[in-house]
Amino acid sequence: MSENFRVALLGNPNCGKSALFNKLTGARQKIANYPGVTVERVAGILALPDGTQAEVIDLPGAYAFDASSPDEEVTRQVVQGEFPGEAEPDVLVLVLDAGNLEQHLVFAQEVLALGKPTIVALNMIDMAERDGLKLDATVLSQALGVPVIETVAVRRRGLDDLKSAIADARAQIGTHADRPVMDATERRLEARTIAKATVYQTSKARRVGDRLDSVLLNPWAGPLILLALLFVIFQAVFAWAAPLTDALDGGAGALGAWVEGALPESFLRDLLTEGIIAGVGSVVVFLPQIVILFLFILIMEATGYMARAAFLMDRLMAGVGLSGRSFIPLLSSFACAIPGIMATRSIADPKDRLTTILIAPLMTCSARLPVYAVIIAAFIPAREVGWGIGLQGLVLLALYLAGIVGALIVALVLRGTLTKGGATGFIMELPRYQLPSVGDIALGLWQRAWVFLRRAGTIIFSATVILWVLLSFPQAEPGESQVDASFAGQIADGLNVVLEPIGFNREISLALIPAMAAREVAVASLATTYAIDAENEEAEAEGLASTLSNRWSLPTALAFLAWFVFAPQCLSTIAVARRETNGWKWPLFMVGYLFALAYIFAGITYWSAVALGL
């Protein structure tokens, strides 16, 4: 029986349920997606005082069983034992925010009416006391007819009592308590009555959160504070991550060199070093950026600031049919689309979320910078256009803006067509401010990092092996270059037929194939191709920028830049989009529309430049 003992945690959003779950189960959590929906299933093991174990699932927060979000629908189906492949929980732990009892008791009535063995965790009792509320748990327990345990999850208060109560509830498994079934209005009236009886003292004192809000949501100070915070985050993602990224990059290089020295020359060795270590290494280097970005995001979420940021930015996002919740994921995508797409989980509306995922790759990520930098250095003269503004910087800015404008237009079009409807506007609870718990943040970071490494890693692993095989076989005859002889070379010949009309040459076609793994690889592979092609030492030594400026026309270079504004050349992003949308349909659509845009805009750029005689 002990293996099958299943406990479910449920409650309103912002009831402190996940913090309680973390404290009950520790770090041994399993995160997966419920099949068919993009709702996370979080489960863990709880050690009970009697030495047995229970499986605990942390159900998504719900305001009611009458679902208005996919999260609520999952919660309802799981609790009622209707979710396919998910066993019905034996005991429910209903988590209520002591500081917002009247509201949370409405959903509580609905849960209790199911008649299942239930325990109430009266959570965040310390915050309620801070706000001047005094509550009597005995009164609440009598009114609801179930045990009530006072808890403060972040301080571990009441946890042992809660565990004992869960163990005791095992005796009631399978029993059905007859509790009144009420309609929505009756539930609210009953909630009000019970809350009045339970809360025996309130104070009119102005809450700390109100004072914070009057600064953070102030029409002048609010946006400035947000802007300053974003600047710090960007600085951190670019600057703090750099040494760690370099170290990982160096580590992968050193590992490759060590394997190369330790193994005899063979295909296995080349596959390990050039394929697996170099390929997987090129993905793992994103980890420091992801961890740093998520550190900020998790802190913003845990403190309650994230909802305020969404509030401040909602009007601007509404202009393209999105809501304030899309702001942070899109902003994160300027560092890297991978954490950006992962951060879309905080968007409740599935269509808003999908639209945000689909446009996230248009934000100019840090991997595009090396490509932009090389081409700009080679083709754009370093002269001032006046007022101390350099032409090179202006072109870089234009490339960033092209991505943003592209994203906004695509969002508008998608919201009017494929992701039409379901514009649920913007209704969002601004939760009370809280000090985040270090343990919860650390656990969240670990989970995000692990999800990234495991899921994106497996797909990247297979893709890099395939790419390596394409580049290494068939083997070149003596005197012939390996890239030309390889399957990739042959594919490039085919690709060239398609890409020639937009001004690309065969070397570009060839560079685009390995650059599917990550955009910045394009630079390295152009360097390799021209190095191999170089007929004399002199040409090889002249550096990539000058090689390119000698061999490419300006229209070709501009077309190449336009291509990289749109082209979805990043397997990790595609892999993460697949994971987050639970299927291949939307990632394939994303890849298709981005390549189409890349092709069209590179073509327009090339032919306009030619027509202008550049």
Sole window of 30-38, 47-55, 309-317, 379-387 interacting with another protein (rule: CB under 8 A): 309-317
Report the candidate in 180, 18, 5 with the shortest Cα–Cα distance to residue 108. Answer: 180
Residue 61 touching another protein (CB under 8 A): no
Give CA–CA dist 36/80, Å, rounded. Answer: 18
Residues 311/316/317/323 CA torsion (nearest 10 deg):
30
Residues 199-218 that bind another protein (CB under 8 A): 210, 213-214, 217
CB of residue 314 vs another protein: minimum separation in angstroms?
A: 5
Which residues in 443-502 contact another protein (CB under 8 A)? none
Q: 571-581 and 585-611 helices cross at what angle (nearest 10)?
A: 140
By beta-carbon proximity to another protein, the closer residue of 83 and 107 is: 107
Q: For residues 598 and 606, what is the distance between their CA atoms, to the nearest angstrom? A: 12
Shorter beta-carbon distance to another protein: residue 124 or 291: 124
Query: Which strand (E) or helix (H) includes residue 235?
Result: helix 221-235
Does the footprint of another protein cover residue 309 (CB under 8 A)?
A: no
Shortest distance, position 331 Cβ to another protein, whole Å: 16
Contact between 73 and another protein (CB under 8 A)? no
* Contact by Cβ (8 Å): 68, 51: no
Residue 416 found at the interface with another protein (CB under 8 A): no
For the bound state, the minimum distance from the C-beta of residue 109 to another protein, rounded and expressed in Å, comes to: 12
- What does the block give as tokens for 362? 């248009």
**Residue with Cβ nearer another protein (392 or 419):** 419
Q: Which one of residues 223, 251, 370, 436 is an interface residue with another protein (CB under 8 A)?
A: 223
* 21, 34, 311, 327: residue in contact with another protein (rule CB under 8 A): 311
Q: Would you call 68 helix, strand, or coil by DSSP?
A: coil
Q: Could you give the string, one character per residue 122-141, with x where binding to another protein holds by CB under 8 A and - elsewhere?
A: --------------------
Neighbouring residues of 271: CB distance < 8 A, sequence distance ≥ 6: 465, 468
Distance, in Å, from the CA atom of 18 to the CA atom of 121, rounded to the nearest integer, reads 12
CA 525 from chain centre, in angstroms, equals 29
> CA-CA distance, 293 to 478, in Å (whole number)?
49
CB 212 within 8 A of CB 222: no
- Whichever of 63 and 601 has its CB closer to another protein, that residue is 63
276 touching another protein, by CB under 8 A: no
Nearer to another protein, 10 or 278 (CB): 10
Query: Does residue 70 bind another protein (CB under 8 A)?
Result: no
Q: How far is the CB of 220 from another protein (least distance, A)?
A: 9
What does 295-358 look like in DSSP terms, one character per residue? HHHHHHHHHTHHHHHHHHHHHHHHTTT--GGGHHHHHHTTT-HHHHHHGGGG--SHHHHHHHHH
User: Is residue 430 at the binding interface for another protein, with CB under 8 A as the rule?
Assistant: yes
Helix (H, G, I), strand (E, B) or coil at 227: helix
Question: Which residue in the set 171, 262, 427, 497 belongs to the binding site for another protein (CB under 8 A)?
Answer: 427
Is 162 among the residues that bind another protein (CB under 8 A)? no
Pairing of β 118-123 and β 29-33: unpaired
Q: Considering the complex, what minimum distance in angstroms separates the CB of residue 219 from another protein?
A: 5
Query: Does residue 288 interact with another protein by CB under 8 A?
Result: no
> Is there binding between residue 398 and another protein (CB under 8 A)?
no
Query: Minimum distance from CB of 344 to another protein (Å)?
Result: 19
CB of 101 to another protein, least distance (A): 8
d(CA 257, CA 278): 11
DSSP string, 250-264: HHHHHHHHHHHHHS-
Selected from 31, 64, 459, 534, the binder of another protein by CB under 8 A is 64
Is the Cβ of residue 312 or residue 522 nearer to another protein in the bound state? 312
| 305 near another protein (CB under 8 A) | no
Q: Is 219 in the site for another protein (CB under 8 A)?
A: yes
Binding flag, residue 183, another protein (CB under 8 A): no
Residue located via tokens 């490759």 = 256
> Does residue 79 touch another protein according to CB under 8 A?
no
User: For residues 206 and 598, what is the distance between their CA atoms, to the nearest angstrom?
Assistant: 55
The binder of another protein chosen from 20, 278, 302, 307 (CB under 8 A):
307
247 phi and psi angles, rounded to 5 deg: -65, -45
Interface stretch with another protein, choices 29-37, 285-293, 318-326, 367-375 (CB under 8 A)? 318-326
Q: Which residue's CB is nearer to another protein, number 209 or number 393?
A: 209
Q: For residue 584, what is the DSSP state?
A: S
Nearer to another protein, 102 or 484 (CB): 102
Taking alpha carbons only, the member of 9, 80, 67, 11 closest to residue 41 is 9
Identify the helix (H) or strand (E) that includes residue 139: helix 137-144
- Cβ neighbours of residue 498 closer than 8 Å, sequence gap 6 or more: none
Q: How far is the CB of 315 from another protein (least distance, A)?
A: 4
Give min distance, CB of 64 to another protein, in A. 5
How far apart (Å, rounded) are the C-alpha atoms in residues 345 and 353?
7
Of 87-116, binders to another protein (CB under 8 A) are 99-100, 102-103, 106-107
- Which of 423, 453, 476, 545 contacts another protein by CB under 8 A? 423
Q: Are strands 384-386 and 389-390 parallel, antiparallel or unpaired?
A: antiparallel
Q: Which is nearer to another protein, 49 or 422 (CB)?
A: 422
Q: What's the rounded Cα separation, in Å, for the pair 235 and 416?
A: 36
Identify which of residues 244 and 404 has a Cβ nearer to another protein in the complex. Answer: 404
Report the amino acid identity of residue 541: A
d(CA 15, CA 206): 21
Number of residues counted as binding another protein (CB under 8 A): 39
Nearer to another protein, 307 or 460 (CB): 307
Residues in contact with another protein by the rule CB under 8 A: 63-64, 66, 68, 99-100, 102-103, 106-107, 184-185, 188, 210, 213-214, 217, 219, 222-223, 307, 310-312, 314-316, 318-319, 324, 422-430
